[in-house]
Amino acid sequence: MGDKAGRAISVKTGKPNSLANYQALFNLFRLMPDKAKKPITGQASVTSGHRARLRARLCREPLDLSDLEVLELLLASALPRKDTKALAAELLQRFGSIRGFMDARGEEVLNISGFGLGLECFRQLLREFLARYAAAPLRKREILATPEAVARMARQRLAGASQEEAWLALVDAQNRLFSWDRLLRGSASAVVIQPRDVLGAALAHKANGLILVHNHPGGDPTPSSTDLELTRELQSLSPSLGLRFLDHVIVTEADCYSIFQQKLIPGASFLLENQG
């Protein structure tokens, strides 16, 4: 049965958790030969013993496990009845690292033999979990003091994104973060941001300060001329609206670029570091 049977039932009924699905599974099980219902031995027991030893080592000292073993155990959480070692090895070979696997695009991982929709949903759940973990400063209302602090949240949220997105971090008078939301979503090469979109959102949330963040999926964090012009406009318009425009940060999967910190705009300074 496994994942393929589960997907077939889901496609047929559209209700993966419906009573009809469970009844269908029961009827199918009832029609199986008796020997097919017996516990699986042989290779399955070997896999079970190997996995138990990995889990014991994980609980004793997580750092002792290799990337392959960590990924193997992770995949086993979604595929408990399958040997996931070979699939883990193939994923690491294809994407280079655990991070490469987690940041890969959906269509890339779905091209790997043995990696189906069920595993992709599990991977997306993990990514969302990590993104919310990285956004913990929002719940603690932590003070944002550097562009790197902003970039950490953005990088986890936007890892593997195939299109540019603009996000807005809003802070109070003490630079305590209270809002972190997507502003706009664009194409693979651009996201069109108007000053009114940025400032309007800040005013609607009664923010005192704002940090604009957007990503460059291509991997180069260098701001474009359009990025710089937008930054100049926001810097010019914000004071008249009672807002502090603190920075425009560009992130990639491996880097971040603070326009103010790099002093690309005359007279601009990274105000987050200057607030008491």
pLDDT tens readout for residues 38-94:
444 455 555 778 888 998 998 988 888 999 999 999 999 899 888 999 999 999 999
Question: What would the two tokens of residue 260 be?
Answer: 């103010």
> For 142-188, how does the pLDDT look when each residue is reduced to its tens digit (9 = 90+)?
777 777 888 888 887 887 788 899 999 999 998 888 888 899 999 98
- Between 210 and 218, the more confident residue is 210
Q: How far is CA 116 from the centre of its chain?
A: 19
Residue 160's pLDDT is what? 72
Picking from 174-183, 227-236, 257-266, which range would have the lowest pLDDT averaged per residue? Answer: 257-266
Q: How far is CA 4 from the centre of its chain?
A: 26
Q: Does residue 237 carry a pLDDT above 80?
A: yes
**Burial tier of 94 (Cβ tally within 10 Å: 0-12, 13-18, 19+):** middle
Third-level CATH fold of 135-274? Cytidine Deaminase; domain 2 (3.40.140)
Q: Does residue 12 carry a pLDDT above 80?
A: no
By percentage, how much of the chain surpasses pLDDT 90?
42
- Please tell me the distance from the alpha carbon of residue 18 to that of residue 21, in angstroms, as a whole number: 5
Mean pLDDT over 208-219 rounds to: 92
Q: Does residue 222 carry a pLDDT above 80?
A: yes
Mean pLDDT over 243-267 rounds to: 86
> For 92-138, how does the pLDDT look when each residue is reduced to its tens digit (9 = 90+)?
999 999 988 988 888 899 999 999 999 999 998 998 888 777 766 65
Mean pLDDT over 246-256 rounds to: 88
Domain ranges of the chain: 39-131, 135-274
- Between 131 and 276, the more confident residue is 131
Indicate the pLDDT class of residue 140, thresholds 50, 70 and 90: low
Residue 139's pLDDT is what? 56
Taking residue 170's Cβ as centre, other Cβ atoms within 10 Å add up to: 22
